[in-house]
Structure 1
Amino acid sequence: MKHAARTLAFIARFVVLGLAVAFIIGLFWPGSGAFLRQRFTAPAGITATTTGESPTSSPVSYADAVAKAAPSVVNIYANKMVTEQPRQLYSDPVLQRIFSVPTGPARTRRQQNLGSGVIVSDDGYVLTNNHVIANADDIQLLLYDGRVAKARVVGSDDETDLAVLKVDAGNLPAIHMTDPDRRPRVGDVVLAIGNPFGIGQTVTMGIVSAIGRQLNLSSLENFIQTDAAINFGNSGGALVNAHGELVGINTSLIGQAVGAEGIGFAIPVASARNVLDQIVQTGHVVRGWIGADYGVLPISADSGLPSAARGVVVNDVSPGGPAAIAGIQQRDVLLKIGGEDILDPSDLRRREASFKPGTAIEVSGLRSGAPFTSTITPSQRPPTAPMQALQTPAR
């Protein structure tokens, strides 16, 4: 019994001594408790971001990112006058074709298209989708601070579905674009900001579902796919990262009419910046063209190609085009262009478009299994009509 009492007394003395030491430390170093908890305790859940925090941590709220980006996103109201001829309607389609005749004078009405846009410079340049403002007679912008301003079209590009507007107004907050070389990663959090269905500026959140997505709408596709909700009216709005930086321009969605949900697409900021710069400087976009149609390179054990070979096979050569002049032939295998490996047909199409017309480019590959090298001088790409696919513009 005495042994147990001595043990308890010994423990009590150390407890009292520990409390005294803790009191003294707390008296002269008030923040020691918080420091020790932060130093030795692992976070149990999501932590709020602070200045200088690791970019891999996840914030509790994205309000700071929205506050940074939202003032640069505008609502677009594109108006045009359309003329309609009233006609007698029949329930039977055969009667409609036979007896469909005008029943009165033509009537003119105003048609309004809704969309969004992003202020990309403080002197009034705005990026949006071409399908939002196509054929519009009057374009009005509703700014974040409530002002309404008239905009004019500087230029547009059907192939990327981008257009540049100019608005004459002061105190315009330009969005911060992310570095074009820093591509978003699959799994990154993104926020879509726009004007869905004309109800007003709305923010939706999701992740990057895929990058480099192809929809066969045009030859220059390199979409960011996201599950952030994109609806009609979001077209031309901003897709931003968790830091409020622009990573893409929202452009389209695969709708519920085909049973899809959470499949939206945005044009990467690198492509948008290239179109923006060219339109601002010249009013239009100039792209290179080598005059060849190419496809996926078939790989087989007896192809004679290295096991890790990438490239394209030439399916057709345009008569009199740059490739024909350079001696490129059908069934040629192109492996490098401009000294860099060709990854696949999509990669070559994007790089072909970026070539400056009139600048000689070296291309190398295999012809009937034998290496060859040639020099192509791209010309300006002729106009092409975008192809249609299972996709709906997010007007």
Structure 2
Amino acid sequence: MAGDRQVSKRAVILAGVAVVAIAVAGTLAFSPWNSPSTAQTAAPPAAVPALIDSAVPQSDAQIKLSFAPVVKSVSPSVVNVYATRIEQQSASPFANDPFFSRFFGQGQFQSRPRESQSLGSGVIVDAGGVILTNRHVIEGATDVRIALSDGREFAVDIVIEDAQTDLAVLRVRDPGQANFPAITFADSDALEVGDLVLAIGNPFGVGQTVTSGIVSALARTGVERSDYEFFIQTDAAINPGNSGGALVDMAGHLVGINTAIYSQSGGSVGIGFAIPANMAKLVAEAGVSGGQIVRPWFGAKMQAVTADIAASLNMVAPHGALITEVAPDGPAARAGFASGDVVMSVDGVAVDDPSAFNFRLATKPIGQSVKLERLRNGSSESIDFTVEAAPVPDANTTATITGDSRFAGTTVRQLDPALAEVKGLAYDAKGIIVTEVAPNSPAEAMGLKVDDIILQLNDTAMDSAKAFAQTASQRVRTWQIILQRDGRVTRSIISG
């Protein structure tokens, strides 16, 4: 790990590709200072004051210090997650060889379905059978099942898949009379470095396992590609299969969802990452209520404050989120923020960088007023900011093409500043963005992909979903398409 905020992407492994679990019992460790043989002759250095008086254990309770009561209360709430996927696999290793295709025909190399399985973990968050796990555990799954610690198995439906947090919510399809043991959420903001934690999951598919450790760092970023990077780091052993499992405190409350590990080998090296409970709780509550996740939108682009920037702004230390661009008529603009402002805290909690700010704002309810500390021209002031939701697409801003059209199977949405920000585009970006391409549809055969931005069709500018729907429904001999993909603009001519 290079620095506090950089982690090699190749070394970070999502902990849910295979299942694993861990077993650990708490032990009482004695230092030489507490040893009976040295207690009379050795003393700790004066610079390190003893926090606890040295003493020999006098009872069984002192000797048998254990995490067992915490594990017994929490284990029933942690489940194993089994996800089945149907993938297309080529029937021949020569499928992409033009020589063999030429002489034997492409029909000899048609793909065939192949079933694959992945294992992970999950946490019961509602007695009615609602489970929280990582999205990457169940992504692309055609069938998902869970197994409780007592051996019972249930088929589940996927209620929410949230790519922005890498969280997913599952619901037991037929719970019957079962009353599921739901875990209690802790306030993850109350965590401190050095706090004891337990990680519970199903590593390597060996079955439910418990490991112990401490919180080794907070607010870690640069771990994986998600919109809300603000991870808890722990040295409790986390391995492939622990993804979606519970990280709990000594009260048996959920402080995080185990998500990734830093490893060159694929196994635990003592650096694991968990999504804080305060973020996980928002996704879980949306799943329990059957609603959608509604997130705040600030309406400004930000960057970290470097040492050079801090010096130019006469700041004592490089902290905060520097605003580089403000969306016209967005929430930040209406609150008076401008480029060059630095947001230093949210409701009195300091933010070190844009990731920290995004996390803090994302955990605030829509409509709530929060206090943002703003640094402008060397002066600090408190700004009352009302948390607003991002614009929601409606029938006027989206379109789905059906029927006898070359674009049948395409769903698009016209760009707005909030969507442009999410996609990394300029606030004034033009065009319509492809949000869905139906499998085996004419649109898929044509080569359209999700996140393609269609700029022009047959000399008609695509400035609205309505314009796209009208143009795409025409019967023409050829289509001239100008689209932007991965930042590159291309022009194509396709037969109608």
Report the TM-score when normalising by structure 1.
Answer: 0.72
Residues 110-168 of structure 1: CA distance to partner in whole angstroms, max 9, x if unpaired? 22121111112221111111111122121111111111111111212211111111114
Distance 1:206 1:380 in 2: 39
User: 1:353/1:306 Cα in 2 relative to 1: closer, same or farther (>3 Å)?
Assistant: same
Contact 2:90 2:112 (8 Å CA) reproduced: yes
Match of 1:209 among 208, 216, 226: 216
Residue 320 (structure 2) pairs with residue 311 (structure 1):
yes
Residue 172 (structure 2) pairs with residue 160 (structure 1):
no
User: 1:174/1:374 Cα in 2 relative to 1: closer, same or farther (>3 Å)?
Assistant: closer
Contact 1:156 1:284 (8 Å CA) reproduced: no
**Corresponding residue for residue 138 of structure 1:** 143
User: Residue 126 of structure 2 aligns to a residue in which SS?
Assistant: coil
Shift of 1:319: 4.2
Larger RCO (alpha carbons 8 Å, 6+ apart): 1
Residue 289 (structure 2) pairs with residue 281 (structure 1):
yes
**Corresponding residue for residue 73 of structure 1:** 78
Contact 2:295 2:366 (8 Å CA) reproduced: yes
Contact 2:279 2:363 (8 Å CA) reproduced: no
User: 1:209/1:100 Cα in 2 relative to 1: closer, same or farther (>3 Å)?
Assistant: farther
Distance 1:192 1:285 in 2: 27
Aligned residues: 333
Residue 356 (structure 2) pairs with residue 347 (structure 1):
yes
**Corresponding residue for residue 190 of structure 1:** 197
**Corresponding residue for residue 262 of structure 2:** 254
Contact 2:344 2:351 (8 Å CA) reproduced: yes
Contact 2:219 2:356 (8 Å CA) reproduced: no
**Corresponding residue for residue 302 of structure 2:** 294
Residues 305-353 of structure 1: CA distance to partner in whole angstroms, max 9, x if unpaired? 4647953321222345333455533223344666876554333212332
Distance 2:193 2:304 in 1: 24
Contact 1:73 1:118 (8 Å CA) reproduced: yes
RMSD: 3.5
Residue 55 (structure 2) pairs with residue 43 (structure 1):
yes
Structure 1 unaligned spans of 5+: 1-40, 51-57, 91-95, 387-395
Report the TM-score when normalising by structure 2.
Answer: 0.58
Counterparts in 2 of 1:1-395, with a 5 A limit?
Answer: 43-44=55-56, 60-89=65-94, 98-99=98-99, 101=101, 102=106, 103-167=108-172, 168-169=174-175, 170-183=178-191, 185-215=192-222, 217-257=225-265, 261-298=269-306, 303=312, 305=314, 307=316, 311-326=320-335, 328-335=337-344, 342-356=351-365, 365-369=374-378, 378-380=388-390, 382=418, 384=422
Shift of 1:76: 0.8
Shift of 1:70: 1.1
Kindly name which structure, 1 or 2, has the bigger radius of gyration based on alpha carbons.
Answer: 1
Instruction: Output the amino acid matched with 2:390.
Output: Q
More helix by share: 1
User: 1:340/1:251 Cα in 2 relative to 1: closer, same or farther (>3 Å)?
Assistant: closer
| Higher mean C-alpha deviation, range 105-114 or range 147-156 | 105-114
Distance 1:281 1:155 in 2: 11
